[in-house]
């Protein structure tokens, strides 16, 4: 890093997470994570059309307080989502599937193949929260977006069609993917929902630790190794 720059501040971070995959499970997963319940009323004028006040969820990871906002994207809007992905620049993409549906897992595999590479080979991260002055975006060099896969079970009595081994096989073939595990987004149970999102935040936290400010990243990219001097021998 340059002498005038300082390492990224990890004390407080705003994190915008994007969920794509199984539409029914995405809605349940987001509501149970952000609010711990499902909405009893709906107001379409509320931010992000979520139907209720969209306050960031505060989550501690190590010494960092994260302000987390989760947005779900429906499969029928995937073309628009992928087109806007470069502008949205999510740090981590979450793919969900229904453990009672093999088709749901196949859709996840198809959506993974549709995710474009980060623009200019860089992941853009927010500099901190509240936004510092001067405002400097942070970047991490990456060939692909980090992807975390989450399996969802609901209702519990539905017969299982997808085994963990099926997902782990896919993960082993795609090193940029990670498996957060399975959860059950159900009121009164809410099994493992916080745990799988904690996994996502830990992936994000590791990215933050690798982050460099924009000017430093360009120095790293443009830096060229010094030329080796050719050895010469003296012939007498």
> For 136-171, what is the HEC assignment?
CCEEEECCCCCEEEEEECCCCCCCCCCCHHHHHHHH
φ, ψ (nearest 5 deg) of residue 224: -115, 140
pLDDT digits (tens, 9 = 90+) for 4-52: 455 556 678 888 888 888 888 988 999 899 888 887 655 555 544 455 5
> What would the mean pLDDT of 197-214 be, rounded to a whole number?
87
Q: Report residue 161's pLDDT band, with 50, 70 and 90 as the boundaries.
A: very high
Query: Do 11 and 64 meet the contact criterion of CB atoms below 8 Å apart?
Result: yes
Query: Do 209 and 157 meet the contact criterion of CB atoms below 8 Å apart?
Result: no
Give pTM, 2 decimals: 0.79
**Highest mean predicted confidence (pLDDT) among 24-28, 55-59, 130-134, 168-172:** 168-172
- CB within 8 Å of 84: residues ≥ 6 apart: none
pLDDT digits (tens, 9 = 90+) for 89-133: 578 899 999 999 999 999 999 889 888 888 888 888 876 666 666
- CB within 8 Å of 132: residues ≥ 6 apart: 9
Number of residues assigned to the chain: 236
Q: What is the pLDDT of residue 203?
A: 94
Q: What is the pLDDT of residue 48?
A: 47
pLDDT over 50 at 226, yes or no: no
Please tell me the least confidently modeled range out of 5-9, 151-155, 201-205.
5-9
How far is residue 231 CA from its own chain's centroid? 50
pLDDT over 80 at 183, yes or no: yes
pLDDT digits (tens, 9 = 90+) for 60-93: 888 888 889 888 877 665 656 555 565 555 788 9
């Amino acid at each position: 890093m340059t002498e005038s720059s300082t390492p990224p501040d990890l004390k407080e971070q705003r994190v915008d997470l994007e969920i794509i995959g199984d539409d029914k499970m995405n809605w349940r997963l987001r509501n149970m994570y952000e609010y711990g319940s499902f909405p009893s009323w709906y107001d379409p004028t509320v931010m992000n059309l979520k139907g209720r006040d969209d306050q960031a969820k505060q989550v501690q990871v190590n010494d960092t307080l994260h302000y987390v906002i989760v947005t779900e994207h429906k499969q029928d809007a995937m073309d628009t989502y992928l087109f806007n992905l470069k502008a949205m620049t999510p740090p981590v993409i979450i793919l969900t599937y229904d453990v009672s549906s093999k088709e749901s897992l196949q859709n996840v595999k198809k959506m993974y193949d549709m995710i474009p590479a980060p623009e200019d080979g860089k992941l853009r991260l927010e500099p901190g929260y509240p936004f510092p002055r001067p405002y400097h975006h942070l970047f991490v060099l990456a060939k692909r977006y980090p992807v975390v896969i989450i399996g969802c079970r609901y209702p519990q009595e539905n017969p299982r069609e997808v085994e963990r081994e099926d997902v782990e096989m896919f993960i082993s073939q795609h090193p940029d993917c990670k498996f957060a595990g399975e959860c059950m987004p159900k009121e009164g149970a809410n099994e493992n929902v916080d745990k799988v999102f904690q996994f996502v935040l830990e992936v994000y936290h590791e990215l933050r630790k690798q982050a460099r400010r924009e000017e430093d990243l360009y120095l790293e990219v443009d830096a060229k190794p010094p030329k080796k001097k050719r050895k010469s021998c003296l012939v007498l």
